[in-house]
Amino acid sequence: MIHTDIIIIGAGPVGLFTVFEAGLLKLRCHLIDSLPQPGGQCSEIYPKKPIYDIPGFPSVLAGDLIDNLMEQAAPFKPGFTLGEAAVTIDEISEDGKQFFIVTTDKGTEHKAPIVMIAGGLGVFEPRKPPISNITDFEDRGVEYIIKDPEFYRGKKCVIAGGGDSALDWSIFLTDKKIASEVTLVHRRSSFRGHLDSVQKVMDLADAGKIKLVTEAEVVGLEGNGKLDHVVIKHDKEGEIKKETDHFIPLFGLKPALGPIADWGLEIEKNAIRVDTSDYSTNRPGIYAIGDVNHYEGKLKLILCGFHEGTLAVQSAFARIHPDKKNVLKYTTVNGVNGF
């Protein structure tokens, strides 16, 4: 049994910043995340993607933001249970005090008086193209998420999609000279991504560094135990067979609440309804912060999640220490070590 003051479910940017805010109030945190490393989507899906709306950073790569948040949280020594998903939340009473027991899919138990759900949009599943035998090649040449770009070093890659992920990874694997060949396939002639990314892809295609195939889609996969060809259906040229080592369809992810839906929380619009005074849920002692919550005027932005976590921690302190007065202190005066 892992004991702490606050169990944070979700180790994305909002969960990590909450560790810092809790640390300023001398509250210990332990984070649970189904991913094998902290950072949530920022680490798992787009670590090399720039983020432009973090205050004080005109531009910061998602992966670098997570590194900074980890460094910011480090003085308060958070605990981590990674690679395990929280599946149940039970309540117990000891000596007249309420505690929660959060158990993961691997049986790890955590005990605390406060739970903060910072699980982003919940559980994600990739949107798969309708190719009949695609599951036969999963982990044998088909990947839905690029986790480590070095995995594609010297390989021929076919990327499918028309959004930011498809554009950004096509550019990255080409610009960094990681993949030996990058082909981007999109069913339309126009793209949905940022205009500067679209222009960059067009420039690379004109220079012969990216093979751009538009008005087309991958409809078939071939290989003996491992992928070696994709079949592309082109609107004008018909069927094209292309040799490749990897097919990476980047059509986004489908969010689902997963086990969260069974925790007795008020759900609205596939998210957890909260009180905006402190982002508490209908279960006292459980808070929801970041993209996983819903309220009137909700904006799914990282910076909004930072604000929500800050107020939730203040409320949590009052629940844990009802007899103590919390006087707001400023880090500009006290630093971090002064808390």
Q: Which long-range contacts (CB under 8 A, 24 or more apart) does 204-207 make?
A: 204/170, 204/171, 204/174, 204/175
Question: Tokens in use for 182?
Answer: 């990058």
What are the Cα distances from residue 66, in Å, to 15, 70, 169, 245, 331? Answer: 11, 6, 19, 31, 21
| 143: nearest Cα among 159, 131, 156, 130 | 159
| 149: nearest Cα among 227, 233, 88, 61 | 61
Q: Are 232 and 216 in contact (CB under 8 A)?
A: yes
- Binding site annotation covers 22? no
- Binding site annotation covers 41? yes
Q: Based on C-alpha coordinates, what's the Rg of the chain?
A: 23
- Binding site annotation covers 33? yes
What are the Cα distances from residue 18, in Å, to 79, 142, 208, 325, 331? Answer: 13, 36, 46, 20, 15
- Binding site annotation covers 168? no
Q: Which long-range contacts (CB under 8 A, 24 or more apart) does 213-216 make?
A: 213/183, 213/184, 213/185, 213/186, 213/240, 214/185, 214/186, 214/187, 214/188, 214/189, 215/186, 215/187, 215/188, 215/189, 216/185, 216/186, 216/187, 216/240
Q: Are 42 and 63 in contact (CB under 8 A)?
A: yes
- Binding site annotation covers 86? yes
Question: Tokens in use for 82?
Answer: 């990674």
Known binding residues for FAD are 33, 41, 46, 86, 124, 291, 332
Known binding residues are 33, 41, 46, 86, 124, 291, 332
